[in-house]
A and B are shown apart, each in its own frame.
Chain A
Amino acid sequence: MNRVKPVSVTGMGCLCAAGLNLKSCMDFLFAGKRHPAPPRGFCSDQEILYPVFEILDDFFNPDLFNEPHVLRTGQLALTAALEAVINAGVGRKRLKQQQVGVCIGTNVAGSVQNKQIQNGSLSENFPYILPVDRFKVSDPAFHIAREFELSGPFQTIVNACSAGGDAIGIGASWIRSGLCDMVIAGGTDALYPITYRGFISLMNCDDGPCKPFDAHRKGLNLGEGAAIMILESDTCRKKRGKAPEAFILGYGSAADAWHFTAPARDGKGLCMAIEEALNMAGLSASDIAFINAHGTGTLDNDRIESQVFSSLFPNIPFLSTKGYVGHTLGAAGAIEAVFSIEYLKQGRIPSSVGFTNPDSELSACPVQKITEIFGKTALSDTLAFGGNNSVLVIGMEGD
């Protein structure tokens, strides 16, 4: 694809184990803290309790919402969306009047919550919740559209670990095509026992705090959270006098077409996605100030990313934030895109926590301390279960 028009980001919201709003997340990251711990929100009979990055505070205030009866994934999405809407300075009335779409990424769209939902009475004819009723309490895009009474298109993307990034990329295309005046785009995922045990059974988890790119890395730690961006057309934001926070300059995605769980060893899909995103942004690799890597802490993922970064972006600093917040699955791409905007604003990136020992097999290493960055453009990538690779190019300057 040729160069496309940048899409303005006019508001952001985020919550995860690092904080209940974007500012507190940033303070936490730059303080270099992290608190992985065994799950407390649910019981697990695992012999080893693998650490997770859980939101322990009571983050959801139902009084702030017209439609608060949603499950945890929806609560996270609504909370982040409300912060983003307030941050964008756009009221509920304007949201109703404009053509506003919703595009949200999530891991299993709440369907794994079914197991909890259906533990109802066994003596009735219908102890099981109808699928439509399940959907009504578990689909985050529906929750946001319903809460803010939106009239535009809507989509729930279930692209596993790249869903959040894909949602932002696709939401941006809705603005560029004139389909929407605004798009509420992002990702959300809550921690659930089924996901927890499923990833453990895949032997993908570290039984200690994860160590992205480290020589002694053993796997990921799961996390939970949500991040939302308000994407807005120039016409719409100029009419209400809102300056952009940042721009989505490019988006690329490509499949490895290799294996339904393991990433392609040559990083082909990631390279294709990077090329597409840079072409859309009209940029080259040397224009990138830093990369927010997927950096899960698994042997394969980190090896492939390191290989691709050293080849395509030599000497460009990169980090993983999963050492701070865990792997938030469908929320990851969105949380990391929002973080990347904040890093660009501050002109610095936090250390890639968990990395202390360089791996001789990896040709590139992440930053080990808070690092000043020079430049106005960043790249954020996510590699999904199933082989999808999603890349966003984000910048502080649009046309």
Chain B
Amino acid sequence: MLNTELKEKIKKIIISELNLFDIDPLDIGDDDPLFGDKFGLDSIDAVELVFQVKHHFGVEIKDMNEGRPALQSVNTLTAYITKRLST
């Protein structure tokens, strides 16, 4: 999958699976902190994202020591998934 396609897919997953119905993919900047004030996400959203990453990409994040840096932004998540899929 191309990088841009992957980012787009990730944004759509974030919106649909976290039920952010008032947000458009265009509203999510690639470097926006996912767990800052902009989107109002919390710890349960973080584990939900971990679950959805496994569900949609087959990539398992083992614990939040690994998860925290990966889930910082769409860019970090894209890089993490890309790296895991290539190994």
Contacts and interface: CB of A to CB of B under 8 A. Distances in A.
Partners in one complex: yes
A202 B47 contact: yes
SS class, residues of chain A in contact with chain B? loop
A218 B63 contact: yes
B60 A203 contact: no
Given A201-B51, A203-B50, A261 B60 contact: no
B34 to A, nearest CB: 17
A40 interface: no
A47 B60 contact: yes
Interface in A246-269: 259-262
A386 B1 CA distance: 40
B32 interface: no
A203 B44 contact: no
A259 B43 CA distance: 10
Nearest to B47: A203
Interface string B21-65: 000000000000000000000111001001100000000101110
B42 A259 contact: yes
Contacts of A218: 63
Nearest to B43: A262
Nearest to B67: A203
B59 to A, nearest CB: 12
Nearest to B42: A259
Contacts of A48: 62
Contacts of B67: 203
Interface in A42-100: 47-48
B51 A261 contact: no
A45 to B, nearest CB: 13
Contacts of A202: 47
A260 B50 CA distance: 19
A47 B61 CA distance: 12
Interface string A202-229: 1100000000000000100000000000
B47 A201 contact: yes
Contact of A262 (B44, B50, B62): B44
Contacts of A47: 60
A262 B42 CA distance: 10
Nearest to A203: B47
Contacts of A261: 43-44
Contacts of A201: 47, 51
A264 B66 CA distance: 25
B67 to A, nearest CB: 8
Contacts of B44: 259-262
A303 to B, nearest CB: 14
Nearest to B55: A201
Contacts of B64: 203
A203 B42 contact: no
B79 to A, nearest CB: 21
Contacts of B43: 259, 261-262
A203 B51 CA distance: 10
A269 B34 CA distance: 30
Which of A202, A259, A260, A262 lies at the interface centre, i.e. has the most chain B CB atoms within 10 A of its CB?
A: A202
Nearest to A262: B43
B37 to A, nearest CB: 17
Nearest to A202: B47
A261 B50 CA distance: 16
A203 B49 CA distance: 12
Interface in B57-81: 60, 62-64, 67
B40 to A, nearest CB: 13
A148 B60 CA distance: 49
Nearest to A201: B51
Contacts of A203: 47, 50, 63-64, 67
Nearest to B63: A203
Contacts of A262: 42-44
A259 B63 CA distance: 21
Contacts of B63: 203, 218
B65 to A, nearest CB: 10
A182 to B, nearest CB: 41
A215 to B, nearest CB: 15
7 contacts: A47-B60, A201-B47, A202-B47, A203-B50, A218-B63, A260-B44, A262-B42
Given A202-B47, A203-B63, A218-B63, 6 more contacts: A47-B60, A201-B47, A203-B64, A261-B43, A262-B42, A262-B43
Interface of A: 47-48, 201-203, 218, 259-262
